[in-house]
Amino acid sequence: MVVQGAQVVGRVAALLRLVGRKPEGTSLAGLVRESGLTRPTVHRLLASLAAEGFLEHDSSSGKWVLGPEIFLLGSVAAARFPMEDIARPSLRRLATETGESAFFSIRRGNETVCVLREEGSFPVRSFVLHEGVRFPLGVASAGTAILAFLPAEEQEALLAEWAEHAGDFSDGHPADVVRENLEQTRLAGYSVNPGLILEGSWGMGAAVFDQQGRPAWALSLTGIEPRFRPERQEYLGKLLLEEAHRMTARLQGTS
Amino acid sequence: MVVQGAQVVGRVAALLRLVGRKPEGTSLAGLVRESGLTRPTVHRLLASLAAEGFLEHDSSSGKWVLGPEIFLLGSVAAARFPMEDIARPSLRRLATETGESAFFSIRRGNETVCVLREEGSFPVRSFVLHEGVRFPLGVASAGTAILAFLPAEEQEALLAEWAEHAGDFSDGHPADVVRENLEQTRLAGYSVNPGLILEGSWGMGAAVFDQQGRPAWALSLTGIEPRFRPERQEYLGKLLLEEAHRMTARLQGTS
DNA sequence: AGATTTCATCCACATTATGGACAGCATCCA
DNA sequence: TGGATGCTGTCCATAATGTGGATGAAATCT
């Protein structure tokens, strides 16, 4: 998987992903911490990425943010990944129908990345999840919904080295809790995150399947605990599954 | 401008831009030609970019295309560059009103990059311009409209080394023709490209200005020569200027 | 005003990326 | 059928490239 003689490419990619996590930008020190690289190296790579227009350095805040070239390349790439067109209507329906915030996440390797958000009308909202945020598979409702429907051996591979895979999240997500959660998800069809990431901040998710029948994306809803009591879960789950089925059908149909 | 000790970053950036030019993808050999790098180097960089998800290698066609990570980062970056929301309505109006195809391009250094397209109803369409295509400033109607309203010294800097700047386009665009064209553009407010890139394929453009009053974007229309006769140019130019003014006002107002 | 944290830059060193060379496939043509 | 052409993928000795410890300046906190 790893290509010889391209160390920097990996480092650059990691830095771009880290910067992309926070729309408001990240400081040099933060990136040094999160990347594990030395400061001079991070600084040089950031500066050269900025010279290429892939990043920008907000001189007032000193933070680094994604630059115009990323936006431009992204617009071109979006033609091959018409997620916006396909997912947005479902998100709108979910958000207006339930009042919660609705999200569309995409699987990328052993992570999920949140791509789209649609705010609900309910006045208390959680900001744990937003565009660009990444979670390890099995963490958060979207990643649980996806992991639950991956081939058993892939699930086992991740669970076998769970602490390493889940990183900072392994504290709040012990492997046995996750196992139980995946089992529940397979039974119900949808996943429930009972505030495991942030107390009181609940979520539910349902997987969307690609043409090969693999769970590649997920729809999810987030909100506060009182809005996710058991009696309402069934209703929310039904809505999520409905929209997930609709998207899956649409994606099977295309091409 | 160029950062020391970051050769690869520049190379990677150049390759990504080259790949982004053609939505259908580019072959290794093509990228070797266009980048001026050696084949092993290009291959290694492409392979490692693909391992990171920044590119994908279509194994049937053997071509390299932009990958999912670019799409994901692009979605995050799009929040800082809300061009779609602001430009799309103007493009719609231009396309429906005129029947020609309408485009929105953005200035990036000494180039313009086409970001958005809206097809017109007229059944003969040119495909010289599409999302991701880059032209040197002063080439094509969008780049002419922008260049014409840059500070005189910046214009002169480019015209002074025109052959180098315009590259392959310098044949069809001699410096004195461009100078005359810029003059005309300043007089009329809008630019006209009388089939200089491809015979019979005409275009007209108008610049959109940022908060500092600098021409940073452009709206343009393209079509075949009979649709751009002098009597119609005035009408098309008026529409372009109207929409460009509207966008400029909207952009001044925001923030 | 001293302590602490963050940012920017230098430069000797060796790790890392480079590219010439080789190998494997197609396709085309004599 | 053979060999000429054009493409992709890989190896590895070489040196050019990127690295990171160290230093200093600047900003922020106590």
Shortest distance, CA B77 to any CA of chain A (angstroms): 5
B77 contacts A70? CB cut-off 8 A: yes
Residue A1: inside a domain = no
Q: Which of A22, A46, A73 is the last residue of a domain?
A: A73
Which pLDDT band, with edges at 50, 70 and 90, does A239 fall under? very high
Residues in B touching A65 (Cβ below 8 Å):
80
**Are A32 and A127 found together in one domain?**
no
Nucleotides of C under 7 A from a protein CB: 5-11, 16-21
Shortest distance, CA A54 to any CA of chain B (angstroms): 8
Mean pLDDT of B60-79: 90
What Rg, from alpha-carbon coordinates, does chain B have?
Answer: 19
**Are B245 and B148 found together in one domain?**
yes
Q: How far apart are CA A43 and CA B206, in angstroms?
A: 39
B70 contacts A13? CB cut-off 8 A: no
**Are A145 and A209 found together in one domain?**
yes
What was the pLDDT predicted at A124? 82
Residue B238: inside a domain = yes
Q: How far apart are CA A135 and CA A21, in angstroms?
A: 11
More confident residue, A107 or A211: A107
**Are A69 and A88 found together in one domain?**
no
What was the pLDDT predicted at A229? 94
What was the pLDDT predicted at A214? 93
Q: How far apart are CA B22 and CA B15, in angstroms?
A: 12
Read off the pLDDT of residues B99-114 as tens digits, 9 standing for 90 and up: 999 999 999 889 999 9
Q: Which residues of B153-182 are buried (b: 16+ CB within 10 A; e: fewer)?
A: eebeebbeebeebbeebbeebebeebeebb
B76 contacts A132? CB cut-off 8 A: yes
B49 contacts A1? CB cut-off 8 A: no
What was the pLDDT predicted at B191? 98
**Are A181 and A66 found together in one domain?**
no
Q: How far apart are CA A81 and CA A78, in angstroms?
A: 5
DSSP B26: B
**Are A19 and A106 found together in one domain?**
no
pLDDT > 80? residue B201: yes
Residue A213 CA from chain centroid, whole number: 20
Residue A187: inside a domain = yes
Task: Supply the CATH number for residue A132's domain.
Answer: 3.30.450.40
State, as a whole number of angstroms, the distance between the CA of B157 and the C1' of C4: 47
Residues of chain B with pLDDT > 90, as a percent, come to 70
Q: How far apart are CA A219 and CA A241, in angstroms?
A: 9
**Are A107 and A35 found together in one domain?**
no
Tokens 């023709």, located at residue? B177
Mean pLDDT of A137-163: 96
What was the pLDDT predicted at B4? 67
**Are B230 and B198 found together in one domain?**
yes
Q: Which of A73, A101, A131 is the last residue of a domain?
A: A73
Mean pLDDT of B64-69: 93
Among partner residues B47, B71, B106, which is closest to A72 by beta-carbon distance? B106
> What is the total count of domains within chain B?
2
pLDDT > 70? residue B58: yes
Q: How far apart are CA A55 and CA A58, in angstroms?
A: 10
**Are B152 and B235 found together in one domain?**
yes
pLDDT > 80? residue A3: no
Task: Supply the CATH number for residue B21's domain.
Answer: 1.10.10.10
pLDDT > 80? residue B138: yes
**Are A46 and A171 found together in one domain?**
no
What was the pLDDT predicted at B214? 92
Which pLDDT band, with edges at 50, 70 and 90, does A211 fall under? confident
State, as a whole number of angstroms, the distance between the CA of A40 and the C1' of C9: 9
What was the pLDDT predicted at B255? 44
Read off the pLDDT of residues A29-43 as tens digits, 9 standing for 90 and up: 889 888 888 888 898
Question: Residue A188 CB closer than 7 angstroms to strand C?
Answer: no
Residue A132: inside a domain = yes
Mean pLDDT of B171-188: 95
| Full residue range of the structural domain in which residue A43 is found | 7-73
* CA distances in angstroms from A167 to A163, A173, B135, listed in the order given: 6, 10, 45
Q: Which nucleotide is nearest to A37 (CA to C1')?
A: D20
More confident residue, A220 or B47: A220
Which pLDDT band, with edges at 50, 70 and 90, does A165 fall under? very high
Which pLDDT band, with edges at 50, 70 and 90, does B22 fall under? confident
Contact A42, A31 (CB under 8 A): yes
* CA distances in angstroms from A40 to A47, A246, B14, B243, listed in the order given: 10, 49, 24, 47
Measured between CA atoms, the residue of chain B closest to residue A107 is: B68
Residue B159: inside a domain = yes
B9 contacts A48? CB cut-off 8 A: yes
What was the pLDDT predicted at A255? 44
Shortest distance, CA B135 to any CA of chain A (angstroms): 14
Residues in B touching A77 (Cβ below 8 Å):
20, 66-68, 70-71, 74
Q: Which residues of A82-104 are buried (b: 16+ CB within 10 A; e: fewer)?
A: ebeebbeebbebbbeebebbbbb
What was the pLDDT predicted at B3? 66
What was the pLDDT predicted at A77? 93
Contact A64, A28 (CB under 8 A): yes
**Are A175 and A63 found together in one domain?**
no
pLDDT > 60? residue A85: yes
Q: Which of B23, B49, B73 is the last residue of a domain?
A: B73
**Are A202 and A106 found together in one domain?**
yes
Question: Residue A47 CB closer than 7 angstroms to strand C?
Answer: yes
Nucleotides of D under 7 A from a protein CB: 6-12, 17-22
A53 contacts B131? CB cut-off 8 A: no
Structure tokens belonging to residue A123: 């006045």
Shortest distance, CA B202 to any CA of chain A (angstroms): 24
pLDDT > 60? residue B1: no
A9 contacts B45? CB cut-off 8 A: yes
Mean pLDDT of B70-82: 90
Nearest amino-acid residue to D6, taking CA and C1': B29
SS3 B220: strand
What was the pLDDT predicted at B94? 97
Residue B2: inside a domain = no
Mean pLDDT of A45-64: 87
